[in-house]
Structure 1
């Protein structure tokens, strides 16, 4: 059973994930950091991931699977220097991906994203996947772009690794005129698009609750820093690795702003920072929800946490007209968000728990 839809407008990517589940862990601590990349296909029976620092991850036995074979070169160092590992593949599959589709599926509302030319078979499969999950979608189609975006995701399931490497296409071509001025909603999410475009979306949504959900690529952008968006953001949602990618100036801008900050910390839990009615910063750490079984896939945990945090805060009256929240509201919302994240990491494919499922698990106090 799906959650009821919130009146939301989500600007963010939707594409196909090429998921490779490996017998982890990849390194001595979980990896949860993504990068853009470049893929050179070949006929050898393996996927080779190479970082600028020389780190390498090789996954053999992929011929005939959903994952193409070849060399995937990352734009950033997402593997630890000195790592050179060959890992066994457990399974591969194709799934709906993209932060935009995740927020749209979990919140409801309308997704605005890009697709390539109508004859692109990859774009057709993205449309089918979006429709399968019942997501209201307005596509911006580019007739001069041959192929939609896609992302390789290496995940180790119980070990907590999530390594997304994106091949960018049509979403990089989106401009403000392509997406603005068509719809309005009480809640607006800007997720993992270019920094300039996300800024334009948030400025346009001045009469809405404005959610900023950046990727690691957004946090690394020094030409158009995220700090430009601090004054037009009501909630910033990201993970600890992405927070660390920001400059000190960027972090300080958000810490000094009125925005609620939601920083997930993998298996440890999440930290929420907000301003009380006296404009003082308060913080709350919510531990990961208790569970008896290991996770299956951590890929959508961040979106599950953020969207259920938003849901519960809105239930307490958080809105464009009433932007302040109190400690009790934050603690309750963080508990439900933690339970939602705990449920989603037990799901092997794209999907999110319903509000009733989350309510039930909170009542039980443990995922068994």
Structure 2
């Protein structure tokens, strides 16, 4: 049985490393190029599988070569693909990630087939047995459907809406979410009385605010906890947020309510992921434990 279902985008990534991003009408030399699977749902699923959690993915790819490569990568690490839709005569979404010398990322991409899962395509029999459903950026109606199925079955729900939070109405999904992951900018929209996301809708939820290199804060109904993060030299921040979310979820699965422990572990996952190139760089449990041991 799949213990965690991760739902959202499954992409193929092309990572281009440059010394610095060019100015308008300028040019930058490509230092290195890397191709691998990507997409927040797929990244989180891979990370959770690496932590020994039985994980499946709900998403969609095209029936092209990139989709085949993405599926093979997921299968290789043990991610269950029964919830992954392969769309005939469609292109898998490709994201071009331009990474500068400081590890900052600029993303270019096409939508492709990564939002071909409509609410009616979701198999309730695949979602309901799970202990937890982790939602990432996807069509709002599909996200809401998945959240409702999980809640009705008694599973917990987390949501990391990502860059498109300000473009889409995710209010219904947020209302059904137990753990919400946002960055500082997104937190202003969710927690500061934005019309689409009134504060009353999230007051009884756990909200994790990611501060990048400055760590993160978790707000619970009972208390708030902060962690300053770890002082590391970033190589590529692509996927660090997905590794962070996966680490947080993995701890809470076995230690419900231990938010301080989850926050520290998640920050370590994000820091280690940022020290490696590519989106699929989530560390294993032993690697995180060794890293944490070195900090004290």
TM-score w.r.t. the length of structure 2 is: 0.87
In our comparison, the structure showing a higher alpha carbon Rg is 1
Shift of 1:133: 3.2
Which whole-Å CA distance do the structure 1 matches of 2:241 and 2:31 have between them? 24
Whether the 8 Å contact between 1:189 and 1:211 is mirrored in structure 2 is yes
Return the match for 2:8 from 12, 21, 25: 12
> 2:11–2:114: 8 Å Cα contact kept in structure 1?
no
> How far apart are 1:250 and its partner, in Å?
4.1
Asked if the contact 1:230–1:253 (Cα under 8 Å) also holds between the matched residues in 2, the reply is: no
**Structure 1 residues not aligned, in runs of 5+:** 27-56, 59-82, 277-281, 319-324
Quickly say closer, same or farther: Cα 1:299–1:245, change in 2 above 3 A.
farther
How many residue pairs are counted as aligned between the two chains?
283
Instruction: Provide the C-alpha distance between the structure 2 equivalents of 1:6 and 1:262, rounded to a whole number of angstroms.
Output: 25
1:165 & 1:215 partners in 2: Cα distance?
15
Matches within 5 A, 1:189-338: 189-206=134-151, 207-221=154-168, 225-244=169-188, 248-253=194-199, 256-276=202-222, 282-291=223-232, 294-316=233-255, 318=256, 325=257, 329-338=258-267
Do residues 342 (structure 1) and 289 (structure 2) align?
no
Q: Secondary structure at the match of 2:125?
A: coil
State how far apart, in whole Å, the 2-side matches of 1:250 and 1:84 are: 38
Q: Which of the residues 274, 289, 292 maps onto 1:359?
A: 289
Query: Which residue in the other structure is 1:88 paired with?
Result: 29
Q: Is the 8 A contact 2:2 2:80 kept in 1?
A: no
What secondary structure sits across from 1:90 in the alignment?
Answer: strand
Equivalent-residue separation in structure 2 for 1:85 and 1:255 (angstroms) = 46
The change in CA–CA distance for 1:263 and 1:229 in structure 2 (over 3 A counts) is: same
Partner of 1:114: 60
SS at match of 1:257: coil
Whole-angstrom CA distance in 1 between matches of 2:56 and 2:7: 9
1:220–1:245 CA contact under 8 A, matched in 2: no
| Cα drift, residue 334 of structure 1 | 1.1
1:168 CA displacement: 0.6
Aligned-residue CA RMSD (Å):
2.3
1:248 is displaced (CA, Å) by: 1.7
Distance 2:175 2:186 in 1: 19
Match of 1:171 among 114, 117, 138: 114
Contact 1:18-1:94 within 8 A present in 2 as well: yes
Q: Of Structure 1 and Structure 2, which has the larger fraction of its residues in helix?
A: 2
Cα distance between partner residues in 1 of 2:189 and 2:175: 20
Determine the C-alpha separation between the residues in 2 that align with 1:152 and 1:240: 25
> Where does the alignment leave 5 or more consecutive residues of structure 2 unmatched?
50-54
**Worse-superposed segment, 305-314 or 196-205:** 305-314
